[in-house]
């Protein structure tokens, strides 16, 4: 929820705190950056020191960070709070998966993962609704304050109902792989940084507003170069430590498990495609259809409903179908829904068109996301659940960042070029409207409503609405194509890779 709840609160945050566009960009992106960079490290530490313990620590940190965000008097403190949220979130996500993998077995395991996946898909769609309602009826600060009661309930539930689990150790405790942890943080952090900042700072040539440039070169290629060097060094370092019998952050032997290796590739590709709608639709609802922030969130509710309902369907499907087959059914539903939306949306569309399509898409997300996770972890030994879960989460986060980069570039580039091409004749006749035309792209479509309200500039708003609709459609087609590749990739996952993980006795409980 916290990955999406802030997006609709951005205008209110800017107005209240008076922060710059660069600061608001970091409010949104520092969370994703630290979240993705630290997943592997916390997954390994959770195996070593206790998955429930690490999750409890992460939840407490997340709640404290949310309070800091809620009371932040300046952009700098809000960014700091979001950074702490990213740190706490990176401790929570892999441990939730590891605890499920350790505590559920048999048919219950598939149902547990279905609930987990449907909750993730549903709450990602629920975030804009909650953010919009809280921003309009209370304050943007409650978009962060809402985490406090959730955090208290989670802590109580963990302490009362969840058993601790950790890896069994033979002999003395091995030293931590600090170099491996550092290399993984630098590598994945630089990779995600490059992906999310490419559109803002320039993929090759430095754009205006870039923090620094090497001549005319953007900092983004440098970030990618650092990522490649750090990740290659990380892999070599992990291999060397494993051969020497020392502890590692990532046990590369996990990739010898076919379901784990092929499942992670599929998860990365699927995550690339699944963020297509969440990225562009809220902006399209608000700037093209004229919805308020709350109405835009409400329009996404069918996605959440479909995702939650999918978890109820898994129990019946799991009796007759292997999890990997359920994944393929879910991906098929997602592809059909995104393609239908990309084909049918128009500047004068309504929620009556999008609601049934989003419901089908939500069903697909609920089926595919949960069961793909189950497939990836099916053959991972319980004692390495933290590493396996963190690797799967890192693959998903990398895919999501890649999807945001590619789909965002397609969406916003089409908005800019489409608006300019439609108004080329008007600009030639009256060059004075160029700043108004440029404002559409500079505001990510936010100026459309203002332009539409003035009869003299309404024609610019009409052109921008058409261009943004084309951008949403193109992003949808790219997302659908990525999901098709993910579906094909899933064919490499053997249905036999659904065997149960080691029994509960293979790990310690308390």
pLDDT greater than 60 at residue 503: no
- Identify which of 366, 341, 365 has the alpha carbon closest to the alpha carbon of residue 353: 341
Distance in angstroms (rounded) separating the CA atoms of residues 480 and 473: 10
Lowest-confidence pick of 59-68, 299-308, 341-350, 492-501? 492-501
What the block records as the tokens of 398 is 């990398």
pLDDT greater than 60 at residue 500: no
Sorted by sequence, the CB contacts under 8 Å of residue 143 that are 6+ apart come out as: 5, 6, 9, 130, 131, 134, 135
What the block records as the tokens of 333 is 């539903």
Helix 10-17 vs helix 75-103: angle between axes, to the nearest 10 degrees?
A: 150
Q: Which residue has the higher pLDDT, 254 or 277?
A: 254
Residue 57 to residues 42, 63, 177, Cα–Cα distance (Å): 11, 10, 21
CA 299 and chain centroid, separation: 20
pLDDT greater than 60 at residue 439: yes
Distance in angstroms (rounded) separating the CA atoms of residues 445 and 439: 8
What the block records as the tokens of 331 is 């991906």
pLDDT greater than 90 at residue 62: yes
- Identify which of 123, 150, 124, 131 has the alpha carbon closest to the alpha carbon of residue 60: 150
pLDDT band with cut points at 50, 70 and 90 for residue 386:
confident
Distance in angstroms (rounded) separating the CA atoms of residues 366 and 330: 7
What the block records as the tokens of 7 is 């997006």
Q: Which residue has the higher pLDDT, 147 or 175?
A: 147
Q: What is the DSSP letter of 175?
A: P
pLDDT band with cut points at 50, 70 and 90 for residue 214:
confident
* pLDDT at res. 504: 36
Distance in angstroms (rounded) separating the CA atoms of residues 149 and 351: 32
* pLDDT at res. 305: 86
* pLDDT at res. 273: 80
Q: Which residue has the higher pLDDT, 79 or 6?
A: 79
The phi and psi torsions of 217 (rounded to 5 degrees) equal -80, 135
Taking residues 250-279, report their average pLDDT: 83
Distance in angstroms (rounded) separating the CA atoms of residues 138 and 135: 6
- Identify which of 1, 269, 286, 290 has the alpha carbon closest to the alpha carbon of residue 128: 1
* pLDDT at res. 169: 62
pLDDT greater than 80 at residue 118: no
Distance in angstroms (rounded) separating the CA atoms of residues 400 and 406: 10
Q: Which residue has the higher pLDDT, 377 or 63?
A: 63
Distance in angstroms (rounded) separating the CA atoms of residues 422 and 439: 15
Q: Are 150 and 123 in contact (CB under 8 A)?
A: no
Angle at 190 between CA 49 and CA 266, to 5 degrees: 75
Q: What is the DSSP letter of 174?
A: P
- Secondary structure (3-state) at 346: coil
Q: Are 260 and 254 in contact (CB under 8 A)?
A: yes
* pLDDT at res. 53: 94
Sorted by sequence, the CB contacts under 8 Å of residue 222 that are 6+ apart come out as: 214
Residue 446 to residues 59, 96, 400, 428, 440, Cα–Cα distance (Å): 35, 37, 24, 24, 7
Q: Which residue has the higher pLDDT, 325 or 209?
A: 325
Q: Are 508 and 389 in contact (CB under 8 A)?
A: no
Average pLDDT, the chain: 84
What the block records as the tokens of 160 is 């009362």
Q: Which structural domains are found in the chain, ordered by start?
A: 7-163+249-420+467-500 (1.20.1250.20), 178-248 (no CATH)
- Secondary structure (3-state) at 214: strand
Give kind and range of the element (H or E) at residue 86.
helix 75-103
Angle at 223 between CA 217 and CA 229, to 5 degrees: 120
- Identify which of 3, 14, 16, 300 has the alpha carbon closest to the alpha carbon of residue 133: 300
Using a pLDDT cut of 90, give the percent of the chain over it.
34
Angle at 94 between CA 93 and CA 100, to 5 degrees: 95
Q: Are 128 and 50 in contact (CB under 8 A)?
A: no
pLDDT band with cut points at 50, 70 and 90 for residue 237:
very high
Using a pLDDT cut of 70, give the percent of the chain over it.
93
**Strand segments (E) across 272-421:** none
Taking residues 34-54, report their average pLDDT: 88
What the block records as the tokens of 236 is 């070599």
pLDDT band with cut points at 50, 70 and 90 for residue 501:
very low
pLDDT greater than 50 at residue 502: no
Residue 121 to residues 78, 306, 368, Cα–Cα distance (Å): 26, 9, 10
* pLDDT at res. 315: 67
Q: What is the DSSP letter of 205?
A: B
pLDDT band with cut points at 50, 70 and 90 for residue 380:
confident
* pLDDT at res. 80: 94
pLDDT band with cut points at 50, 70 and 90 for residue 21:
low
Taking residues 114-127, report their average pLDDT: 76
- Secondary structure (3-state) at 217: strand
> Is the pTM for the entire model greater than 0.85?
no
User: What does the pLDDT look like over 148-182, one tens digit per residue?
Assistant: 999 999 999 999 999 888 876 655 556 778 898 89
Lowest-confidence pick of 170-174, 178-182, 316-320, 465-469? 170-174
The phi and psi torsions of 214 (rounded to 5 degrees) equal -95, 90
Distance in angstroms (rounded) separating the CA atoms of residues 197 and 211: 11
CA 109 and chain centroid, separation: 24
* pLDDT at res. 173: 54
Residue found by looking up tokens 């309200």 in the block = 453
pLDDT greater than 90 at residue 370: no
Maximum average pLDDT range among 31-45, 381-395, 430-444, 448-462: 448-462
């Amino acid at each position: 929820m916290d990955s999406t709840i802030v997006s609709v609160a951005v205008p209110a945050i800017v107005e209240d705190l008076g922060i710059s566009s660069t600061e608001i960009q970091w409010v949104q992106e520092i969370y994703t950056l630290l979240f993705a960079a630290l997943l592997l490290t916390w997954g390994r530490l959770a195996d070593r020191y206790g998955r429930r313990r690490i999750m409890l620590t992460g939840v407490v940190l997340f709640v404290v960070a949310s309070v800091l965000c809620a009371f932040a008097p300046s952009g700098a403190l809000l960014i700091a709070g979001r950074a702490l949220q990213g740190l706490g979130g990176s401790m929570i996500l892999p441990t939730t998966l590891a605890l499920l993998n350790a505590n559920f077995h048999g048919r219950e395991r598939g149902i547990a993962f279905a609930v987990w996946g449907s909750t993730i898909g549903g709450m990602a769609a629920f975030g804009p609704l909650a953010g919009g309602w809280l921003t309009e009826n209370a304050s943007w600060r409650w978009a962060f304050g809402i985490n406090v009661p959730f955090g208290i309930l989670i802590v109580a539930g963990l302490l009362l109902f969840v058993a601790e689990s950790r890896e069994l150790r033979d002999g003395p405790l091995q030293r931590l792989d600090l170099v491996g942890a550092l290399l993984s943080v630098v590598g994945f952090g630089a990779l995600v940084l490059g992906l999310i900042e490419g559109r803002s700072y320039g993929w090759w040539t430095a754009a205006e507003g870039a923090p620094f440039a090497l001549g005319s070169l953007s900092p983004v290629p440098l970030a990618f170069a650092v990522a490649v060097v750090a990740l290659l060094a990380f892999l070599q370092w992990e291999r060397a430590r494993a051969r020497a019998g020392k502890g590692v952050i990532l046990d590369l032997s996990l990739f010898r498990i076919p379901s784990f290796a092929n499942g992670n590739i599929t998860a990365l590709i699927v995550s690339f495609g699944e963020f297509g709608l969440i990225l562009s639709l809220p902006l399209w609802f608000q700037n093209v259809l004229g919805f308020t922030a709350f109405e835009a969130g409400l329009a996404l509710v069918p996605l959440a409903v479909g995702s939650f309902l999918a978890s109820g369907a898994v129990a019946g499907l799991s009796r007759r179908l292997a999890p990997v087959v359920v994944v393929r059914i879910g991906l098929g539903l997602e592809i059909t829904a995104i393609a239908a939306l990309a084909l049918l949306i128009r500047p004068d569309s309504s929620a009556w068109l999008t609601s049934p399509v989003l419901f089908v898409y939500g069903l697909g997300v609920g089926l595919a996301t949960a069961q793909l996770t189950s497939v990836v972890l099916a053959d991972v030994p319980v004692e390495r659940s933290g590493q396996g879960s963190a690797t799967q989460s890192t693959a998903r986060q990398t895919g999501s960042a890649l999807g945001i980069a590619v789909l965002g570039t397609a969406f916003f580039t089409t908005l800019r070029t489409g608006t300019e091409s439609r108004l080329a004749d008007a600009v030639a006749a009256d060059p004075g409207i160029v700043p108004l035309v440029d404002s559409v792209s500079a505001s990510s479509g936010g100026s459309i409503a203002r332009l539409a309200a003035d009869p003299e500039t309404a024609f610019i708003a009409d052109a921008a609405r058409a261009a943004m609709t084309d951008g949403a459609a193109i992003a949808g087609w790219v997302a659908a194509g990525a999901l098709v590749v993910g579906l094909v990739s899933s064919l490499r996952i053997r249905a036999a890779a659904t065997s149960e993980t080691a029994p509960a006795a293979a790990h310690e409980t308390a």
